[in-house]
Every structure is written in C-alpha cells, then in structure tokens.
Amino acid sequence: DSGVTQTPKHLITATGQRVTLRCSPRSGDLSVYWYQQSLDQGLQFLIQYYNGEERAKGNILERFSAQQFPDLHSELNLSSLELGDSALYFCASSPGQGTVLGANVLTFGAGSRLTVL
Amino acid sequence: GENVEQHPSTLSVQEGDSAVIKCTYSDSASNYFPWYKQELGKGPQLIIDIRSNVGEKKDQRIAVTLNKTAKHFSLHITETQPEDSAVYFCAASRRGTYKYIFGTGTRLKVLA
C-alpha cells in the first residue's frame, strides 16, 4: 500500500456522462498530481495542485477539471465523456511543490480504471 | 517541447541475464530522473532515482547511469528474476517543478 488512496477502482459509464474520481494523498503530502494512462500508452500529466492551489497544467482537456480541498484530497471531474476517455487515471502525491532539492518524489496510487461505452 | 524517449518498448530476457533500458531526454534543465516499475493492475512504484549531480547509483541488483552531456540515462537490472517482469517507466523532472515527463514504457519479460 503506497498510502495514496484512489476511488473508485473501476468505473463503467456511457458517452456523454460525467464522473468524479477521488484521491487522498499520502499523509503529510501537500501536492497532488493527476495522470492519464491510455491502453499501451505512457503516463500523461494532466494537472498538479499544491495545498489547494493549481500549480501546473499539462494535457488536460477543457472537459476535465480538478480541485484540491482543504483536507488535501483531490477530485478529478470528467464530463461529456467520449470513448477515447477510457483509460487508467492515476493520482500521485509528493511532500512539496518542487522547489526543494531532495523532495522530488512522487508516490502513485493504484489508479481508477474508467471505461466509457 | 519536453520529451523523453525510451527504448526498447519490449524486452525479453532469460532468468539470470541482465536487462538494460535506455532513455533520452530533451530538456537540459531536467535534474531528477526516477524509474518506476508498474506491475499488472497496480500503480507505478519508484524503484530507483538519480539526480543530475551524480553519474551512477546502485541499489542491490538495479543501477542507473546518467550521461548529462548526451542527455541519456539507463536502468540496469542484473541477475533478473521472474518477479522483475513488469512495465518500467523512466521520467525526467525539471528543476523547480514536480512535472514529470515520462517515457512510453518498456515491458520486461523475464523467462524462467
């Protein structure tokens, strides 16, 4: 157990629907990251939050949004779902926001597998 | 833009042999290079990492080397075992950010 908790583990939904994926970071970690892993693809960075604020944005679609709450858990909202959104969505956490040498370690959760039919 | 190329995409070795996976990064500001192992149905797990002020790092059967001039870094696994079978990802992280650029992964199969 990495200490990063993601729910749900599996989710099946239809095109056009909206889903929310949830992540609880490892205890003490302030940063949360979301990554998308499509079939046989690498990990694509979506977005990073640090202590409730957005810090970095990657290839995140406008149909997707995220937030980090005061208790540091994060949610990734995926709307107007398309078949191509089917993927594994990983959350990762780290202690800081990337400015301290020696603290650049990401810990990943087990992922949420989204299937859009 | 920022890019990390990883080779090979698949690698099969006999148990006990060595395996080498290579990555090349494009962003010269990158200063942290982790390697992750992803087993089936699980999230990626950090197995070893190296910073730009170090040329080589070892941890039991795994080692990572870094050539900053050529922007190459490699993962070496010696005396491979069936439990080493997994997908391995390299990544590069830029100074001052936690944004990781991942390689496309190498599926390693260790044949018993």
The model's pLDDT over B56-105, given as tens digits with 9 standing for 90+, comes to 999 999 999 999 999 999 999 999 999 999 999 999 987 666 678 899 99
Query: What's the gap in Å between the CA of B25 and the closest CA on chain A?
Result: 15
CB contact under 8 A, B96 and A99: yes
DSSP A34-73: EEEE-TT--EEEEEEEETTEEEEE-S--TTEEEEE-TTS-
Amino acid at B29: A
State the best of A7, A106, A112, A113 to mutate against chain B, taking most chain B CBs within 10 Å.
A106
CB contact under 8 A, B43 and A94: no
Q: Any idea which residue has 């982790």 for tokens? A: B34
Chain A: which residues have CB within 8 Å of chain B?
A: 2, 4, 31, 33, 35, 41-45, 48, 55-56, 58, 90, 92, 94, 96-99, 101, 104-111
CB contact under 8 A, B97 and A43: no
pLDDT score for A40: 67
pLDDT score for A96: 72
Which of A90, A98, A105 is closest, CB to CB, to B97?
Answer: A98
Long-range contacts of A44-47 (CB under 8 A, 24+ apart): A44/B102, A45/B99, A45/B100, A45/B101, A45/B102, A46/A76, A47/A76
Residues of B in contact with A31 (CB under 8 A): 98
In tens, the pLDDT along A48-77 reads 999 999 988 988 999 999 999 999 999 999
In tens, the pLDDT along A77-104 reads 999 999 999 999 999 998 876 555 555 6
The β-bridge partners of B72 are: B24, B67
